[in-house]
Amino acid sequence: MSEQPFVKLEGIAKRYPAPGGGVNTVFENLWLACAQGEFVCVIGHSGCGKTTILNVLAGLERPSEGYAFVQGREIAGPSLDRAVIFQSHALLPWLTVVENIAFAVRSKWPDWDNARVREHCRKHIALVNLTGAERKRPAELSGGMKQRVGIARALAIEPKMLLMDEPFSALDALTRGVLQEEVLKICAETRQTVFMITHDVDEAILLADRIVLMTNGPGARVAEVMLNTLPRDRNRHDIHRHPHYYPIRNHLLDFLIDRSKSFERELEGRAYDPQNPPLVMPGIGEAPTAQRRAAAAPSLARNGT
């Protein structure tokens, strides 16, 4: 894994004009780094700016302050190197499964002939277990199948980073669980770098290497970064058997229910460095400063502990 962060946010803020004058600050002085091949989840209540951060990484919005970098280059706009999967599948309804994916593939490689495009699409259709559905249109697919097509389309352009905005939130629990495991398997095989927003604590525990905890908006900030100390080869059937599972889950729930609202009071009399927020390892404790700095780099992801 590279010593330099693959993605780096440096002191970014997002502000909007307030009705009647003044400014609304969604979040400010936010610092975050992601390593190549790392899966990072962000959780926090609505209004803390999670989707705005994802849009900044996608190049769809500019920060009001600060800078966002991918591989050392400032993000100046959208790029096929960063694929986005939204809550809705966003498929073109008049195109079939293979045509929806081919549309994206031709955007990335306009010189490819039809045979090469078809073969590339079929490979990614098989990757999400949709072989046999190539000629179906979105109206003929279930919600879970549509999201599979969206995932296949995103992966087919071979992005350097996958940005996911609660992609499974509209699905039933069974379908959501199946797709979570599909994503886990695909990311393990492809070493995909992922930045994902979720409200689902169990989803974050299953998928993420690190979980970023955001305080409530307005003026949200990163309260803590939690290192997922569960083994990387986890699955949703056995994950609860690990001794760290409940300390991790309880820590996240406690933050969302209580501490996200009282974080500013907690800081009274304590030093807080936004560039090096506390790194916590539930079941182990808060990491010392040196480890916090290393994780912010980050170099502890996918440690297999």
Q: Closest Cα partner for 225 from 207, 209, 208, 213?
A: 213
Strand order in the sheet with 279-281: 82-85, 161-165, 193-197, 39-43, 210-214, 222-227, 279-281, 285-286
Residue 266's CB: how many other CB atoms inside 10 A? 12
pLDDT in tens, 177-235: 888 888 888 888 888 899 999 989 999 999 999 999 999 888 898 999 999 999 888 88
Q: State the first-to-last Cα distance of the chain, in angstroms, to the nearest integer.
A: 16
Verdict on whether the full-model pTM lies above 0.85: yes
**What DSSP character marks residue 220?**
B
Q: For residues 257 and 46, what is the distance between their CA atoms, to the nearest angstrom?
A: 13
Tell me the domains of the chain and their CATH numbers.
1-81+210-305 (3.40.50)
The parts of the chain modelled with pLDDT lower than 70 are: 1-3, 264, 266-270, 285-305
Q: Which two tokens stand for residue 214?
A: 């955001």
Biggest CA–CA distance in the chain, Å, is 65
pLDDT in tens, 39-65: 999 999 988 999 999 999 999 999 999
The secondary structure of 92-132 as a DSSP string is: -TTS-HHHHHHHHHHHH-TT--HHHHHHHHHHHHHHTT-TT
Q: Closest Cα partner for 51 from 188, 169, 186, 147?
A: 169
